[in-house]
Amino acid sequence: MSYADLATLARRAGAELAAGDSPAACPLALVAVKSTASLAVILACLAARRPLLLLSPELGEEALAALARRANVRAVLTVSDTWFERGPLLPAEAPEGLPDDTALILTTSGSTGLPKLVPVSGQAIDSFAQWAGAQFALDAGTRVLNYAPLNFDLCLLDIWATLRHGGCVVPVAADRAVDGTYLRRLLRDTEPQVIQAVPLLFRLLTEATDAEASEAPFESVRDLILTGDHTPQAVRARLPRAFPEARLHNIYGCTETNDSMLHTFMPEEAAEAGTLPLGRPLPGVAIRLLDGDREVPGAGTGELIVSTPFQATGYLADDRSPERFERHGDRAWYRTGDLVERDAAGQLRLLGRTDFQVKVRGVRVGLEEVERVLNAHEGVAEAAVIALPDDEASKVLHAFVRPVVGAGLTALRLRAHCAAHLSRLAIPSRFHLVDDPLPVGPTGKTDRRRLEEKLTTT
C-alpha cells in the first residue's frame, strides 16, 4: 500500500469519526486488529489530536468493557472485513488525570490482573521516533518487520517511527505469528532490513532454519533488535549464522517508559554470554538503583528506576500510580520492578523481576535465574519455571521443559545440570518434559498462568 492510499484511508476514517460526534477530550477505543483499517483509524485520531485507547483483540469481553469504562471512552471501534465499525456513543467525559497531550493509551500485559492504562503523549512519540530514526537509519524505503501486536509498545518503532521516516512496514499476520515456516518465507519474500521482536520470533526462525540445513541466511537484515524478555543463549548463538550482515542489539524498556537502554554486541558475545548487559542509557535517559529506599550509588544490586523522554507520568484512572511513579529532583521516574546488578564499570545486568522472587524454605530464589540455567542446556529448546504453594517448603518449583528433538533429555539430566549451577533450594522439585511449545500470551512471553492452571486442574 502506498502512502497516498494510506492517507486517503486515514482522511476517510477521520471524516466518519467526526460525523455526528463533535471533537471531545474523551478518548475513543479501538480493538486493535492488525489491519490497514486499524492503521487508518489510529492516523485519523493522531491527526485530530484525539486520544485513542488501543485494546488487545485477545481481551475477553469483561476485561475489554472494564478498560473502556476506566478510560471513559466515547465509543469502542472494531474492525470487520476491510473497514471499521463504531459501537454506540457513550455519555463519557474526559477521564480524570488524562494528560492534555495524550495521543495513544497503551495497556500493560495484564500478567498480574487487569491491564493498566498507560497514556503516551504526542511529544513522547515524536521524541522516540526521532531517536529511532537516527539510531537505525530509518528512511524512505527502509523495510521494517512488524512482529508485535498493534496494541503493543514495540509498534512505536516497527510502525510509527518507520512511517514517520517514510519507510515500509512489513506486518506479520497475527494468526501466523507462531508458524516458523510462514515467518521464514515472509522474510525471504520481503527482505526486511530491520527486525525488532521478542525472543519467540528468533527461536521460531532459527528452529525453522535449522530444520532446513540448506537454507540460505537472511542477508537483507542490517539491524536485529532483541527486546521484551531475556533471549536464551542457545537462540542467540544461532543468530549470527542466520543473519550474517546484521548488527545485533539488545534493547531494554517497558510499556511505561518505552526504550531506555541499548547494548550492541558482537557474534562472540551472542554465543558466549550467559546474559546480555542491558547497555547504556539512551540520550536523555537517566537511571538509578534503589535497595529498598536506599540509593545504590555505584556497584551493587537494586531495583532499576528509570526516567526517559518517552515515558508516561502515571497510569490512567488507577490508584497504583504512586507505587510506580514518583518525582525526584526535576524529573518523573518509574520504578520498573526489575532487579539489576551494576558492576564497577557501570554495566547493568538484569537479574529478574522483583515479583518473580519467591522464598523456598526461607531462602529467596529468582525464578528467571533458574530459567536461564535451564535454557543454557544444549538439549533444551525452551523452559519456564513456576512456583506453587507448599505447606512444608512455602513454595515448590516446577520446571516445564521442551527438549530439542533427539536430545535424549531426562529429568535426571536436568536435575544434574541445575545442581552444577544453582543452590540446592533453587533446583526445581518437579520437571515436566513436554512435546508442544510452551503457551505464550499476546506479547510473545511465556504465559505462566496457563502453566499454573495445567498443574492445579490435573
CATH number at residue 426: 3.30.300.30
Q: Does 425 fall in a domain?
A: yes
Q: Are residues 263 and 296 in the same domain?
A: no
143 and 272 part of one domain: yes
Per-residue confidence (pLDDT) for residue 54, from 0 to 100: 97
Could you tell me if residue 46 is inside a domain?
yes
Q: Final residue of a domain: which of 85, 119, 153? A: 119
Would residue 115 count as lying in a domain?
Answer: yes
Tell me how many domains the chain contains. 4
In this structure, are 423 and 339 located in the same domain? no
Domain boundary among 231, 263, 280: 280
* 328 belongs to a structural domain: yes
Is residue 268 located within the same domain as residue 289? no
Structure confidence at residue 81 (pLDDT):
79
Same domain flag for 49 and 115? yes
Judge whether 124 lies within some domain: no
pTM across the whole model: 0.83
Which residues constitute the domain of residue 50? 3-119
Identify whether residues 271 and 302 lie together within a single domain: no
Residues 160 and 271 in one domain: yes
- Write down which residue in 280, 299, 334 finishes a domain: 280
For residue 308, the model assigns a pLDDT of: 95
Has residue 208 been placed in a domain?
A: yes
Give me the CATH number covering residue 24: 3.40.50.980
CA-to-CA separations, 413 to 154, 288, 365, 418, in angstroms, rounded? 38, 40, 21, 9
pLDDT of the residue at 210:
63
> Domain check: are 8 and 36 in the same one?
yes
Residues 342 and 373 occupy one common structural domain: no
Same domain, 298 and 374: no
Residue 374 located in a structural domain: yes
The reply to whether 60 and 160 lie within a common domain is no
Quick one: 258 and 169 in the same domain? yes
Q: pLDDT at position 16, please? A: 94
CATH code assigned at 302: 2.30.38.10
pLDDT in tens, the chain (458 residues): 999 999 999 999 999 999 867 666 789 999 999 999 999 999 999 999 999 999 999 888 888 999 999 999 999 999 987 899 999 988 877 788 899 899 999 998 765 567 899 999 999 999 999 999 999 999 998 999 999 999 999 999 999 999 999 999 999 999 999 898 999 999 999 999 999 998 889 988 888 766 665 578 999 999 999 998 778 888 899 999 999 999 999 999 999 999 999 999 999 998 888 788 999 999 999 999 999 889 999 999 999 999 999 999 999 988 888 889 998 888 999 999 888 999 998 889 988 777 677 777 766 787 888 998 898 898 999 999 998 887 666 788 999 999 998 899 999 999 999 998 887 888 999 999 999 999 987 767 788 888 988 887 76
pLDDT attached to residue 319: 81
For residue 131, is it within any domain? Answer: no
